[in-house]
C-alpha cells in the first residue's frame, strides 16, 4: 500500500484513485451487508430479479456474490400452491415436486441454458417457488413460465405472502 | 520483463476463462434460440440472442488480437470494448447469473487502467500501482463470496452439503461418499463449509496487508484450490482472478536486457524488488 501511494506521488493517476475508491466502496457495501437490512433486502431482491428498477439491479451486478445465501427452489407442474408454511409451499398429496438448494440467483433454473432446457424443453408451462435466506431475512417469489401462443414462454413473478 | 508480457498474461487468462465453457455457451445459445423466455424485467435488447453472441465473440476476438500487436493504443481499445461487452453480459438475461463475467469484468477494468498507464508510466511505477490494484480487487472478490456465507445455513454446512456432498459427481465428493458414513459426511461438509467461509473472509484482510509476492502466491493457491476441490467448471470464474493474481509475481523492475537497451538515461525508476504493494 505504501509503495502504491509512493508511486502515485511520482505520477499523477486519477484513474487509479478512482479504481481504489470503487473497490473500497464495493467492499464497504459487502462488509455492511451482515448488519444492514436494507442491503440484505436489496441483494435478496437482486437474486430474485425483483429490484424495482432494472438499472438499479444492473448497477449491483458487478458486486461479487458467488455462493451467497441459502437459495432453495421448488419446481412443480400444475397449479401454483395456494398455501404456504412460512415461505415453504404446501403441495397436494402426490404432486410431483423437485426441491434443491442452488448456489446463487435461483431464477437461473429458468433463465440459464441448462435449466431452461430441462424445465421448459417439453413446451409446458411450469412454476418455480424461490426462497433465499440470509441472517433471518428471507424473500420468496413465485416464478410462472406460461407457454405462449407466439412460441416460447412468458415469465411473470409474484410475491409469496408469509401466512 | 516488460509491461506487454504482464498485460498479455492477465488478458490471456481472462480469455481462457471465457473459452473454458465455450461448448456449454454454444449449447445455451441454441437453447435460447429455440426456447425464448420473454421477461418484462429485462429491456428487450438485453434478452436478445444476437447481442449476447456479439458481446461474447467480440471479447474473444479482441482477446486473441492481443497476441498480434504491441500497440498500446490497440490494447486500450481492446480493454475498453471488452469491459463494456462484459458488463452487458453481466446484465443480460442469458448470462447474468454466471460469475465468469463478473470476475472477467473486474479484470478487464484493471486491463483498461493498465493499458492506459503503460503508455505513460515507467515500468516500476506501473507495477507498483498495478499489483496493488490487482490485490485489492481480488480481496474484494473473495470478500463478496465470504460475507454472503456469514449465515447459519453455511456455518452448519447444510448448503454445501446439498449442493456438493449429497450427489455431485466430482472426484472429491465421490471419494468421500464411498468412504464416509452419512453422519461423517455431514460432519465433513460442516467443516468444509466453515473452512471456505474463513478462508474467503480471511483472504480479504490478507490480500490488503501482505507483501505483493506473498499475496499473489496465496491468491493463486486459494483460487486454484477452490476449483480443484469443488468443481472444475469454476475455472471459468477463477482464471480471470488467477490472471490478476499473477501481476504480483512479475518483477517490479525491467529486466537488465531491456534496461540496457533503453540506455542509462532512460532507465525506469527502480523500486525494491519483491517489495510490498
Q: What is the pLDDT of residues B175-190, one digit of tens each?
A: 999 999 999 999 999 9
pLDDT tens, position by position, B153-170: 999 999 999 999 999 999
C-alpha–C-alpha distance, residues B213 and B251, integer Å: 9
Q: Has residue A88 got a pLDDT over 80?
A: no
Tally of CA atoms within 13 A in the half-sphere of A163 that contains its CB:
9
Per-residue pLDDT, averaged over A148-152, amounts to 92
How many CB atoms sit inside 10 A of residue A128's CB? 23
- What residues have CB less than 8 Å from B253, skipping those under 6 apart? B123, B124, B259, B268, B270, B271, B273
Output the pLDDT for position B52.
97
Residues from chain B that touch A66, judged by Cβ atoms under 8 A, are 99, 102, 144-145, 148, 237
Output the pLDDT for position A162.
59
Q: What is the dihedral of CA B22, B28, B33, B34, to 10 degrees?
A: 140
Give the residue from A54, A33, A74 showing the smallest Cα distance to B40.
A54
Give the residue from B178, B187, B182 showing the smallest Cα distance to B157.
B187
Tell me if A9 sits within 8 A of A17, measured CB to CB.
no
Output the pLDDT for position B113.
98
Residue A92: band (very low, low, confident or very high) from pLDDT cuts 50, 70, 90? low
Chain position carrying cell 412443480: A76
In angstroms and rounded to an integer, the radius of gyration of the C-alpha atoms of chain B is 21
Residues from chain B that touch A155, judged by Cβ atoms under 8 A, are 37-41
Residue A11: band (very low, low, confident or very high) from pLDDT cuts 50, 70, 90? confident
C-alpha–C-alpha distance, residues B18 and B33, integer Å: 21
Whether residue B128 and residue A3 make contact (CB cut-off 8 A), yes or no, is: yes
Per-residue pLDDT, averaged over B134-152, amounts to 97
Output the pLDDT for position A76.
80
Q: Has residue A54 got a pLDDT over 50?
A: yes
State CA B86 to chain mean position distance.
12
C-alpha–C-alpha distance, residues B86 and B81, integer Å: 8
Residue B276: band (very low, low, confident or very high) from pLDDT cuts 50, 70, 90? very low
Residue B254: band (very low, low, confident or very high) from pLDDT cuts 50, 70, 90? low
pLDDT tens, position by position, B25-62: 999 999 999 999 999 999 999 999 999 999 999 999 99
Backbone angles phi and psi of B168, in degrees to 5: -65, 130
Tell me if A52 sits within 8 A of B40, measured CB to CB.
no
Tally of CA atoms within 13 A in the half-sphere of A112 that contains its CB:
19
Tell me if A67 sits within 8 A of B149, measured CB to CB.
yes
Output the pLDDT for position A89.
73
Question: What is the overall mean pLDDT for chain A?
Answer: 90
Output the pLDDT for position A157.
93
Q: Has residue B235 got a pLDDT over 90?
A: yes
Residue B258: band (very low, low, confident or very high) from pLDDT cuts 50, 70, 90? very low
Q: Has residue B274 got a pLDDT over 60?
A: no
Output the pLDDT for position B71.
94
Question: What is the overall mean pLDDT for chain B?
Answer: 91
Give the residue from B208, B200, B199, B203 showing the smallest Cα distance to B136.
B208
ipTM of the complex: 0.92
Residue B257: band (very low, low, confident or very high) from pLDDT cuts 50, 70, 90? very low
Which grid cell sits at B262? Answer: 533503453
Residues from chain A that touch B39, judged by Cβ atoms under 8 A, are 49, 111, 155
Whether residue A103 and residue B105 make contact (CB cut-off 8 A), yes or no, is: no
Q: Has residue A111 got a pLDDT over 80?
A: yes
CA B107, B113, B114, B115 torsion-angle sign: positive
Whether residue A70 and residue B153 make contact (CB cut-off 8 A), yes or no, is: yes
Residue A98: band (very low, low, confident or very high) from pLDDT cuts 50, 70, 90? confident
Per-residue pLDDT, averaged over A32-38, amounts to 97
Q: Has residue B73 got a pLDDT over 90?
A: yes
Per-residue pLDDT, averaged over B225-233, amounts to 93
Whether residue B94 and residue A26 make contact (CB cut-off 8 A), yes or no, is: no
Q: Has residue B237 got a pLDDT over 90?
A: yes
Output the pLDDT for position B1.
60
Whether residue B128 and residue A69 make contact (CB cut-off 8 A), yes or no, is: no
pLDDT tens, position by position, A55-78: 999 999 999 999 999 999 998 876
Residue A158: band (very low, low, confident or very high) from pLDDT cuts 50, 70, 90? confident
Residues from chain A that touch B29, judged by Cβ atoms under 8 A, are 113
Per-residue pLDDT, averaged over A101-116, amounts to 94
Amino acid at each position: 500500500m505504501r509503495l502504491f501511494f509512493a508511486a502515485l506521488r511520482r505520477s499523477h493517476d486519477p484513474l487509479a484513485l478512482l479504481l481504489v475508491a470503487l473497490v473500497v466502496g464495493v467492499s464497504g457495501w459487502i462488509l455492511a451487508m451482515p448488519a444492514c437490512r436494507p442491503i440484505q433486502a436489496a441483494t435478496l431482491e437482486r437474486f430474485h430479479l425483483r429490484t424495482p428498477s432494472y438499472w438499479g439491479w444492473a448497477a449491483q451486478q458487478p458486486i461479487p456474490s458467488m455462493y451467497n445465501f441459502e437459495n432453495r427452489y421448488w419446481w412443480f407442474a400444475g397449479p401454483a400452491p395456494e398455501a404456504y408454511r412460512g415461505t415453504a409451499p404446501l403441495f397436494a398429496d402426490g404432486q410431483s415436486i423437485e426441491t434443491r438448494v442452488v448456489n446463487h440467483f435461483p431464477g437461473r433454473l429458468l433463465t440459464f441454458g441448462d435449466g431452461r432446457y430441462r424445465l421448459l424443453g417439453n413446451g409446458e408451462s411450469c412454476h418455480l417457488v424461490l426462497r433465499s435466506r440470509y441472517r433471518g431475512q428471507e424473500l420468496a417469489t413465485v416464478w410462472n413460465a406460461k407457454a405462449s401462443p407466439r412460441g416460447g414462454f412468458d415469465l411473470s413473478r409474484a410475491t409469496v405472502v408469509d401466512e | 520483463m516488460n509491461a506487454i508480457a504482464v498485460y498479455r498474461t492477465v488478458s490471456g487468462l481472462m480469455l481462457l476463462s471465457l473459452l473454458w465453457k465455450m461448448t456449454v455457451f454454444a449449447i445455451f445459445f441454441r437453447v435460447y434460440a429455440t426456447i425464448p423466455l420473454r421477461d418484462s424485467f429485462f429491456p428487450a435488447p438485453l434478452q436478445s440472442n444476437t447481442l449476447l453472441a456479439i458481446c461474447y465473440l467480440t471479447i474473444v476476438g479482441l482477446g486473441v488480437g492481443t497476441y498480434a500487436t504491441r500497440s498500446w493504443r490497440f490494447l486500450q481499445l481492446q480493454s475498453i470494448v471488452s469491459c463494456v461487452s462484459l458488463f452487458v453480459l453481466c446484465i443480460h438475461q442469458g448470462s447474468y447469473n454466471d460469475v465468469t463475467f463478473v470476475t472477467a469484468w473486474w479484470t478487464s477494468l484493471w486491463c483498461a487502467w493498465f493499458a492506459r498507464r503503460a503508455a505513460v508510466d515507467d515500468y516500476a511505477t506501473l507495477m507498483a500501482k498495478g499489483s496493488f490494484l490487482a490485490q485489492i480487487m481480488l480481496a474484494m472478490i473473495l470478500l463478496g463470496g465470504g460475507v454472503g456465507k456469514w449465515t447459519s445455513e453455511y456455518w452448519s454446512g447444510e448448503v454445501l452439503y446439498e449442493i456438493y456432498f449429497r450427489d455431485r459427481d466430482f472426484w472429491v465428493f465421490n471419494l468421500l461418499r464411498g468412504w464416509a458414513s452419512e453422519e461423517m459426511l455431514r460432519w465433513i461438509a460442516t467443516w468444509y463449509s466453515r473452512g471456505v467461509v474463513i478462508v474467503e473472509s480471511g483472504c480479504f484482510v490478507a490480500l490488503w496487508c501482505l507483501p505483493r509476492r506473498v499475496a499473489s502466491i496465496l491468491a493463486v493457491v486459494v483460487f486454484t484450490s477452490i476449483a480443484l476441490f469443488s468443481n472444475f467448471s469454476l475455472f471459468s470464474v477463477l482464471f480471470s482472478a488467477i490472471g490478476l493474481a499473477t501481476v504480483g509475481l512479475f518483477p517490479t523492475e525491467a529486466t537488465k536486457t531491456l534496461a540496457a537497451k533503453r540506455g542509462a538515461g532512460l532507465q525506469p525508476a527502480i523500486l525494491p524488488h519483491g517489495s510490498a504493494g
